[in-house]
Amino acid sequence: MSQLRVTKMHGAGNDFVLIDGRDIAEERLPEIARRLCDRHFGVGADGLLVISDSSCADIKMRIFNSDGSEAQMCGNGIRCVGKYIYDNHLNTSLHPTVETLAGNKTLALHIGIDGKVERVTVDMGEAVMLSDSAVALTTESGIFNVIPVSTGNPHGVVEVSDTETFEVAKIGSQLESHPFWPNKANIEFVMVEAPDTICQRTWERGVGETLACGTGACAAAFAMATSGRVNWPVKVVLPGGTLIIDKKDRHILMTGPARFVFETAVSV
């Protein structure tokens, strides 16, 4: 076994273990993700962030869910990467670029009074409707109208009357694995609270319910604003915190916190 330096971080309660993957065999990453993310026998996290050198951006980010599956993009995770590389002097730009499986993303880092990154705005690119209208998906619990959206990851947005009492785990797990999605999907349950505010709970594929989901907040805001249910910019209130989602030209901009928790070394 060897010692691996790991950093625990979170974005609005969506927590991650971050590692430098340059000296780690790629085939080991799913296993490392499962071990480190285990909340009983590991560090505990929703996902593993792996950074490495990039030939087309300032840094490369890969995101593995707690079950070892790899996701294309992670909005909360990429904010943590932006904070990590600036605070640790790996990059001095306030507008670094990050290579992801969903393309290169540009960040705007907002510095706090301590000289470290406090918030990050991410240009998430274009959100895309995957259907002309909501689709009715039949599950064992009933039929649900789902708005399918891609923000780098596939999402299904479901408007509900009360996010607090809704059976997110039960319905989310059924909709996540519905045959409509070729590779499963993240499911967002949203409630309109004000003309510019929605409340959201998320069931993430390969993870379960999380306290926040950046790409999901973008998908939910885009779906609700496009349908005229709310106005831009959209405040997305999540169990772990609040994200501000705006639209500039055709691009979705997400602003939210990034927090350092601790560093340690583990045997892998």
Read off the pLDDT of residues 214-224 as tens digits, 9 standing for 90 and up.
999 999 999 99
pLDDT at 1 (0 to 100): 65
Classify strands 241-248 and 251-257 as parallel, antiparallel or unpaired.
Answer: antiparallel
Does the domain at residues 128-249 carry the CATH identifier 3.30.530.20? no
Question: CA-CA distance, 123 to 137, in Å (whole number)?
Answer: 31
Q: Which residues pair with 38 in a beta bridge?
A: none
Tens digit of each residue's pLDDT (9 = 90 or more) over 148-157: 999 999 999 9
pLDDT at 3 (0 to 100): 85
Tell me how far apart the terminal alpha carbons of the chain are, to the nearest angstrom. Answer: 6
The contacts of residue 38 (CB under 8 Å, 6+ apart) are 44, 66
Q: Which residue positions in the chain have pLDDT lower than 70?
A: 1
Q: Do domains 3-123+256-267 and 128-249 have the same CATH topology?
A: yes
pLDDT at 73 (0 to 100): 95
pLDDT at 2 (0 to 100): 75
Catalytic residue among 37, 199, 213, 218: 213
Runs of H (alpha helix) within the chain: 29-37, 75-87, 168-176, 214-226
Q: Which residues pair with 251 in a beta bridge?
A: 248
In Å, how far are 6, 30, 48, 193 from 25, measured between CA atoms?
A: 16, 11, 15, 47
The HSE-up count of residue 94 (CA atoms within 13 Å, CB side) is: 9
Catalytic residue among 74, 80, 199, 218: 74
pLDDT at 33 (0 to 100): 97
Does the domain at residues 3-123+256-267 carry the CATH identifier 3.10.310.10? yes
Active site residue 37: no
For the chain, what are the domain ranges?
3-123+256-267, 128-249
3-state secondary structure 146-203: EEEEECCCEEEEEECCCCCCCCHHHHHHHHHCCCCCCCCCEEEEEEEEECCEEEEEEE
Q: Is the pTM of this model over 0.85?
A: yes
Active site residue 213: yes
